[in-house]
Amino acid sequence: MSTYDRSMALTGQPPVILNRNQKIATLIGMFGLAIILLAAFNVSFPNKGLWLTLALTSIIGGTVWFSREAYLDKEPGIKNDGVWFKSLSNQGFWGWIAGIALTGFYIVLYFYPEYLGLVKEGSNKGVIGLFDPLSRALSGNPASQWFVYGTLYTVAILAFGIKFLWKYRHNRYERIRTFSVMFFQTAFAFIIPELMARLNGSSLLNGGSLPYYDLKNMWPLNYYNFEGYRIKGFLSSGDIGFAMLIFGIATVFIISPILTYRFGKRWYCSWVCGCGGLAETAGDPFRHLSDKTVKAWNIERWVIHSVVVFVTLMTTAVIYSYLGNDTSKYWLTKSTFLIGVAVLLTAVFAWVMVFKRKQFQKDAIYGAIGFFVIIIALIGFHFFSGEGNVFLFKSETLRKSYSFLIGSIFSGVIGTGFYPVLGNRVWCRFGCPMAAILGFQQRLFSKFRITTNGGQCISCGNCSTYCEMGIDVRAYAQKGENIVRSSCVGCGICSAVCPRGVLKLENGPLKGRIDSNQVLLGNDVDLMQLVNQK
Amino acid sequence: MENIIIIGNGIAGVTAARHIRKLSDPTANRAGKRIIIISAETDYFFSRTALMYVYMGHMKFEHIQPYENWFWEKNNIELVRGYVTEVAVEDKKLLVDGSRAFYYDKLIIATGSKPNKFGWPGQDLHGVQGLYSKQDLDLLEVNAPNREACKRAVIVGGGLIGIELAEMLRSRDIPVTFLVRETSFWNGVLPEGESQMINEHIEEHHIDLRLATNLVEIVPDENGKVKAVITDKGDTIPCDMVGLTAGVSPNVEFLRDSGIELGRGVKVNRFLETNVKDVYAIGDCAEQHEAIGNRRPIEAVWYTGRMMGETVAQTICGNRIAYKPGHWFNSAKFLDIEYQTYGWVFGERGKKDYEEHFHWRHPEEKLCITVAFHKENNLFLGINTFGIRMRHELFDRWLTEERDVDYVMEHLADANFDPEFYKNYESAIVGQFNSAFGKSIRSKKKNSKRIFQLN
């Protein structure tokens, strides 16, 4: 019915052919990509530092120039014209091509880094070799596939972040939020850990060496944070190392609950997190592809909570495996640790059941009971299993399968590779255990909500369509209800695209936060009471 | 078993159906009330106000359907696709497409509107259309798919649909000429300053706005397709598509000989009952015998359709209540500028003798508000706001509490509904108000206890 366009443009509008400057911008960006691609085919560039700089500046410059041409000569406002007409952004041919290419990249990155030129003994070749000069400048070490990935990741967040800033230049919430993700990615995820690597072996760390640590990356997103080698690294690195370990624990149990209480989980998911950062910037053109059906929501709840159970079991098993049995050596032993975990989980569970059970839908209660029983039962198995075995499995098996299934396949290959097919928050919505835990807090214990503005909703569906988390926002808004959903990452786009000013993200009093009344204001008060009778 | 038939699956009819289903006793099994919705337009309910976004590529048609397709069967609401050609009230019978007969116990007419045509020469040519229905949207894809097929479009009628159509066509880069009868855009409704600001904004979007200009004739080419329009200024504007958006009127022709009393719409009393027993009318097509307050007898507005649907559902389920809409509110979006209104603010034409206006406009950005209040007793009457979102609940409360304009000015920050981190303009607004009326009000800081009534 509608006009379909086969252009690869993510911006601009379907009937508008790229203007001359955009063509040049595309050429520049492609030139940068071509350098990296040639390096991947083992073309050895003579002056690597220069060529790398050229490649990265071309990519950033091309993207930024293209976006500038797309947005800056237009009035500030919502720029979604033709989104569903473009094959790149409507799951059409180019969308699938992009999806396949990204997926392929992730598979090579995670499982075949040697194709990218990684050489274990001796100097790197290929793409990784091309990035050596930058890596040496930052940390003093040669590049790895993770350094290449981190650099490209940061470049993507910065270049597409600038695009996003122009696209939403009328919206200060979006602008400030985007500056935030750009900052946290560049400083915390990219530069600081690289510079910290320079400290390794120095007297500041008592000669110890810190594990690579992106400070904003919390457990369980950072599922490996409490593995034996990292704990050893922290503990070997003097006061600084110890402080970082304490910080790692505090982020999970103290800092994040407080911030989530005050601001909702958005303080992390759409302001700080790296996965969120990429989704909000490079992933923004695909946000509308998330599935909004009730069926998808059901799948989401089962899958994501299973991942939480998995990561909890895995981490418990891993920590358990390196703890000792002798209380005289160290107070924390295998059994005290397991008892501690069980007590903590039971406390959380009991608290929720006592104070918040009314806010739960039935199936959530079943789910919670089920999962709780499993955890307790598995811990019980410990007492019947021998040395080296934890629960039913060897802890190493559990760790490896988590790392492979969740850490690599789910968060990387599917989570990012499938952006153009399943939307930009697939990982955050279906897989991220961090998001699930923060969401649990957000749903039950937070001041954050999306307020619906009385009866102004016209059921148009922009909010639901552009919700990257697949929340059917309209279903609440058209009834006059506030939106309090555990999956909401607070990106603010529903509010931005609303043509009638109906939605506002805000932190307010707990009372009346989840307002299940249908307040179609402007109508007779008596009638509204009748409508609200349950 | 009671058969309830609803003609029309728009917001009014669907709201009525949903609420009837909700109110009908579920323990009395499904036989209690049978609900049938008949529509000629589409299989499923969709949001009419969102049609524009489908053409603009913001959404696909399925996205503007607020309920998934399984919803209707699950809630035991039967959907029939067809055009009601005849209503025989004596036999309580409907004919669909001239043949299929349906019998009702209660009938709700919710057939909405159709675009106005004022007898312009050439108004039925190929390439001339209104913008109201799904069919109109499909037609627009034929008449104006892109700028090659449609080198220029002319829109006739400067109202809400006209400016939406202009925005739609501009999203595909089609040149648009916009003929507006009034001397300034929508100034029959909007006060001068606001209307002026929208004029400027329309031109910013490269729309050829022709104010105080009427359509005289639409000229065909040799194939009976539109070729040009001629205006009363003597201009001939070549074009490939003409959009007629000079308002809408109730879609009630099919009831002409039914015995149901018609005016411009279906005449109803305060209980939304027609002159025939067990026949009700709601939404755009209903016409009140006497207007309610400052409202018009026919209200072609999304929100009022929804309220009427809720009201009639109560009545049909044995709790007969009158349609009593509360304080007036409405909203729209003019290209990039959002508009909300609460209470009554009239344009020059409808302005009451007692009505005083305070207008504030941002020096650079496209933001403005107009506050109406009573000259003598300072009573707050209403507010129009452009580019600044305001809290519905608060204005509704203030209108109920009959606050004066000074109170509203003092607490304006509470009412702000803009996203977080947006710039606030309360102090500028209140400052100008003070100097205009010799007052010394100080803008109070936003207070969530007041907003959410936590005391």
Contact A471, A487 (CB under 8 A): yes
Chain B residue with CA closest to A77: the answer is: B336
Q: Rounded to the nearest 5°, which phi and psi values hold at B260?
A: -80, 130
Contact A190, A56 (CB under 8 A): no
Q: What is the pTM of this model?
A: 0.93
Please state, in angstroms and rounded to a whole number, the distance separating the CA atoms of residues B326 and B337: 26
Are B205 and A523 a contacting pair at CB < 8 A? no
pLDDT at residue B408 is higher than 70: yes
Q: For residue B179, what are the CA distances in angstroms to A473, B211, B242, B259, B315? A: 37, 6, 11, 39, 44
Average the pLDDT over B226-246 and give the result.
97
Are B138 and A76 a contacting pair at CB < 8 A? no
| Model confidence band, residue B433 (pLDDT cutoffs 50, 70, 90) | very high
Q: Which of A83, A474, A522 sits opposite B58 (nearest CB)?
A: A83
Please state, in angstroms and rounded to a whole number, the distance separating the CA atoms of residues B15 and A457: 14
Please state, in angstroms and rounded to a whole number, the distance separating the CA atoms of residues A125 and A123: 7
Q: Which of B146, B325, B452 sits opposite A3 (nearest CB)?
A: B146
CB-based contacts of B274, cutoff 8 Å, min separation 6: B109, B260, B261, B266, B267, B268, B280, B281
Are A474 and B66 a contacting pair at CB < 8 A? yes
Chain A residue with CA closest to B307: the answer is: A523
Are A523 and B325 a contacting pair at CB < 8 A? yes
With residue A312 as reference, give the H or E element that holds it: helix A294-322
pLDDT at residue A402 is higher than 90: no
What domains does chain B contain, in order, with CATH numbers? 2-114+249-316 (3.50.50.60), 128-246 (3.50.50.60), 329-451 (3.50.50.60)
Q: Return the residue in A460, A503, A506, A529 with the most chain B beta carbons within 10 A, the one to mutate for interface testing.
A: A460
Q: What is the ipTM of this complex?
A: 0.94
Angle of helix A126-138 relative to helix A48-71, nearest 10 degrees, comes to 90
A474 interface with B at CB cutoff 8 Å:
yes
Q: Cβ contacts (< 8 Å) between B198 and chain A: which residues?
A: none
| Model confidence band, residue A2 (pLDDT cutoffs 50, 70, 90) | very low
Q: Cβ contacts (< 8 Å) between A81 and chain B: which residues?
A: 56-58, 171
Percent of chain A whose predicted confidence (pLDDT) is above 90: 50
A15-24 CB contacts, 8 Å cutoff, 24+ apart? A15/A82, A15/B146, A15/B147, A15/B172, A15/B173, A16/B173, A19/A69, A21/A65, A21/A69, A22/A65, A22/A66, A22/A69, A22/A70, A24/A65
pLDDT in tens, A300-353: 988 998 898 888 888 888 888 788 777 777 778 887 888 888 888 888 888 887
pLDDT at residue A36 is higher than 60: yes
Largest CA distance in chain A: 81
CA distance B231 to chain A (A): 29
Per-residue model confidence (pLDDT) at position A4: 47
Are A456 and B331 a contacting pair at CB < 8 A? yes
Per-residue model confidence (pLDDT) at position B178: 98
pLDDT at residue A489 is higher than 70: yes
pLDDT in tens, B166-192: 999 999 999 999 999 999 999 999 999
Per-residue model confidence (pLDDT) at position B73: 94
CA distance A456 to chain B (A): 7
∠ CA(A375), CA(A378), CA(A379), 5° rounding? 85
pLDDT at residue A7 is higher than 70: no
Q: Return the residue in B331, B338, B450, B455 with the most chain A beta carbons within 10 A, the one to mutate for interface testing.
A: B331
Average the pLDDT over A433-452 and give the result.
93
Burial of B323 per CB tally in 10 Å (0-12, 13-18, 19+) = buried
Please state, in angstroms and rounded to a whole number, the distance separating the CA atoms of residues A424 and A108: 21
Torsion, CA B187, CA B348, CA B323, CA B4, rounded to 10: -20
How many Cβ contacts (< 8 angstroms) between chains A and B? 195
Are B419 and A505 a contacting pair at CB < 8 A? yes
